[in-house]
Amino acid sequence: MSRRILQVGPLKPSLAATLTEEYDALVLPDGDHRAAFLADHGPSIGAVVTTGRTGVPADLMAQLPSLGVIVNFGVGYDTTDVEAAAERGVLVANTPDVLTDCVADTAVGLTIDTLRRLSAADRFVRRGDWSGASYPLTRKVSGKRVGIVGLGRIGQAIATRFEAFGCPISYHSRREVEGSTYTYAASPTDLAADVDILVLATSGGSGTQHLVDRTVLEALGPEGYLINIARGSVVDQDALVDLLITGGIAGAGLDVYTEEPTVPAELMALDNVVLLPHLASGTVETRAAMEQLTLDNLDRWLADGTVLTPVPEVTPRGAT
């Protein structure tokens, strides 16, 4: 087993420093130097540490013939070709659970901000508009019907929080969750048609590409709100922009986008849209826990060839 470690893509600075200083890790360069680097070092690489924003595609794996593990800093791993990894016998690990609370907190906070238009109200005050007018009325959150796409760890945590607001909860996943007390919807469209707030908490990747398409958004309707803390790829962004502009849905709270960090310019001036820079897990405590779990996974693999938190070998079709 080759024990050489490679960093692929930017990492949290303290994690990158630890990998370099304590594990003697190499860093994959960009641009013209990459081919020569891989020719020289590719055969010796046993482990890759990356993030969900960068990942390891199949063509890079092919240039790392000794690769045994891909350790992902983050819960999302849709940028890594897990099917190619499985075919090559390469383990893939991520950092679930440790970020569940902060992502769920963000989903609820983003919902409140979107319906109550708190960020827009802040801008209203800063512009000096309060001296000449009252702020427009907004929408209540408590008691609203909440639908969650993807009732996994994060989805469950979001549901629990909304229950405290007196919100009826329904959900859509690939299959009904055994023992759940929430109402199951057979499709995202069915779910959207029966809720006021549609929260996306499913995994990304090809299996959920545009799972929330124009049909789903139109079912949500002009009184409905979309909250996305999952992946930008889950939503047909063009349809979303169009419906937000034309009033096809009431508003949206977005932490993720199709091509980050690019945000559609049409959304910038809309006060019924709250735009966040993919920060759902971005707290000091959670990022420290994610860093530690990343290193723990790497240490376990170096010790015995296993990982603490392996991901499923193949991303399933539909919500999870």
The string of pLDDT tens digits covering residues 249-260 is: 999 999 999 999
pLDDT, tens digit (0-9, with 9 covering 90-100), for 230-250? 999 999 999 999 999 999 999
316 falls in which pLDDT band (50, 70, 90)? very low
pLDDT, tens digit (0-9, with 9 covering 90-100), for 134-162? 999 999 999 999 999 999 999 999 999 99
pLDDT, tens digit (0-9, with 9 covering 90-100), for 181-212? 999 999 999 999 999 999 999 998 889 999 99
* Mean pLDDT, residues 165-188 taken together: 97
Catalytic residue positions? 231, 260, 278
Looking at residue 312, its pLDDT comes to: 78
Q: Please check whether residue 292 is in contact with residue 149, taking contact to mean a CB–CB distance below 8 angstroms.
A: no
**Above 90 in pLDDT, residue 314?**
no
229 and 294 both lie in a single domain: no
CA dist 182 and 151 (Å) reads 10
Angle CA 108–113–115, to nearest 5: 95
35 and 21 both lie in a single domain: yes
* Mean pLDDT, residues 221-225 taken together: 98
In a domain, 313, yes or no: no
Residue with the larger pLDDT of the pair 87 and 319: 87
In a domain, 25, yes or no: yes
Q: What is the dihedral of CA 99, 101, 102, 103, to 10 degrees?
A: 80
185 and 215 both lie in a single domain: yes
Looking at residue 317, its pLDDT comes to: 35
| Averaged confidence pLDDT in the chain | 95
234 and 253 both lie in a single domain: yes
Please report, rounded to a whole number, the percentage of residues in the chain having pLDDT higher than 90.
Answer: 93
Domain with 263 in it = 100-275
* Mean pLDDT, residues 1-15 taken together: 95
The CATH number of the domain where 292 resides is what?
Answer: 3.40.50.720
In the sheet that holds 4-7, the strands lie side by side as 26-27, 4-7, 45-51, 69-73, 91-93
The pTM of the whole model exceeds 0.85: yes
Looking at residue 313, its pLDDT comes to: 57
109 and 234 both lie in a single domain: yes
114 and 262 both lie in a single domain: yes
315 falls in which pLDDT band (50, 70, 90)? very low
Helix ranges (H only) for the chain are 13-23, 33-41, 58-62, 82-88, 100-116, 118-126, 153-163, 188-193, 214-220, 237-246, 284-304
**Above 60 in pLDDT, residue 264?**
yes
C-alpha 282: how far from chain center? 12
Q: Please check whether residue 103 is in contact with residue 258, taking contact to mean a CB–CB distance below 8 angstroms.
A: no
263 and 148 both lie in a single domain: yes
70 and 40 both lie in a single domain: yes
In a domain, 315, yes or no: no
47 and 181 both lie in a single domain: no
245 and 188 both lie in a single domain: yes
* Mean pLDDT, residues 253-276 taken together: 96
Q: What is the largest CA-CA distance in the chain?
A: 71
Domains: count for the chain: 2
